[in-house]
């Protein structure tokens, strides 16, 4: 239900769309379960890197494997994203479900490894070949041993996510009532993980996360 705007929120300079939906007093297991449902259910993320002289640059990336709070991607070494990462390790991975409006934002440090990383064989699938092509030389063929094959690991240091608590019709009704009543809509739960929580999540759920 929409909630009234409070004078205290004005006095403290708070954003009521955050304070009304803040729902961070849950266990780490619950946070990770709900976080995983959103990320794993979508699979395609937007990866943002920082490019010198330009700023943030994003592109769609299929997740090869989620390892607890961290994400593994397979990519072509000739991609310009590797130039970005070499100069700035900070990367953002973002998911958004346009049906439910659920979203996730992961900010982390990027670790890159070449085709000698044994994790590549574990997460590689036939579909990856479609994005590499096969030169016919027995080498540049999109297989895990292809010298162009690299692993991008985004090791989270902050995770924010929002999940809906009302359906599509309820969402519209909530917005309508909030406008009519001068209140603030409350349609979901907003949560965060950082610091020790992410370290704990990586230790407990990150079976394929690197130790670096």
Residue 72's H or E segment, with its range, is strand 70-76
Residue 18 neighbours by CB distance under 10 Å: 12
pLDDT averaged over the chain?
95
Angle of CA points 175, 181, 184, to nearest 5° = 50
Q: Closest Cα partner for 82 from 141, 151, 156? A: 151
pTM of full prediction above 0.85 = yes
User: CA-to-CA distance for 22 and 42, rounded, in angstroms?
Assistant: 23
Vertex 177, ends 171 and 183: CA angle to 5°?
A: 105
Q: pLDDT tens for residues 57-86?
A: 999 999 999 999 999 999 999 999 999 999
CATH class of 26-165+191-205: mainly beta
> Is pLDDT at 212 greater than 60 in this prediction?
no
Q: What 3-state DSSP class applies to 85?
A: helix
What is the domain partition of the chain in residue ranges? 26-165+191-205
Give the pLDDT confidence of 80-135 residue by residue, as tens digits.
Answer: 999 999 999 999 999 999 999 999 999 999 999 999 999 999 999 999 999 999 99
The structure tokens listed for 211 are 């130790």
Query: Which has more pLDDT, 212 or 43?
Result: 43
Nearest residue to 209 via CA among 125, 150, 159, 153: 153
């Amino acid at each position: 239900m929409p909630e009234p705007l409070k004078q205290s929120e004005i006095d403290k300079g708070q954003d009521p769309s955050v304070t009304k939906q803040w729902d961070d007093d849950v266990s780490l297991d619950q946070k990770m379960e709900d976080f995983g449902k959103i990320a794993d259910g979508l699979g395609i993320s937007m990866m943002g890197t920082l490019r010198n002289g330009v700023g943030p640059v994003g592109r769609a990336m299929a997740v090869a494997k989620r390892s607890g709070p961290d994400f593994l991607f397979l990519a072509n070494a000739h991609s310009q994203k590797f130039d970005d990462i070499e100069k700035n390790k900070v990367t953002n991975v973002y998911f958004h479900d346009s049906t439910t409006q659920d979203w996730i934002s992961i900010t982390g440090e990027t670790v890159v490894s070449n085709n000698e990383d044994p994790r590549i064989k574990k997460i590689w699938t036939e579909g990856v070949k479609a994005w590499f092509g096969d030169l016919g030389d027995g080498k540049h063929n999109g297989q895990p041993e292809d010298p162009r094959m690299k692993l991008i690991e985004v090791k989270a240091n902050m995770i924010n996510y929002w999940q809906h608590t009302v359906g599509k019709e309820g969402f519209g009704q909530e917005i309508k009532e909030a406008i009519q009543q001068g209140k603030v809509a409350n349609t979901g739960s907003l949560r965060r993980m950082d610091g020790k929580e992410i370290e704990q999540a990586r230790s407990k759920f990150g079976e394929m996360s690197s130790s670096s």
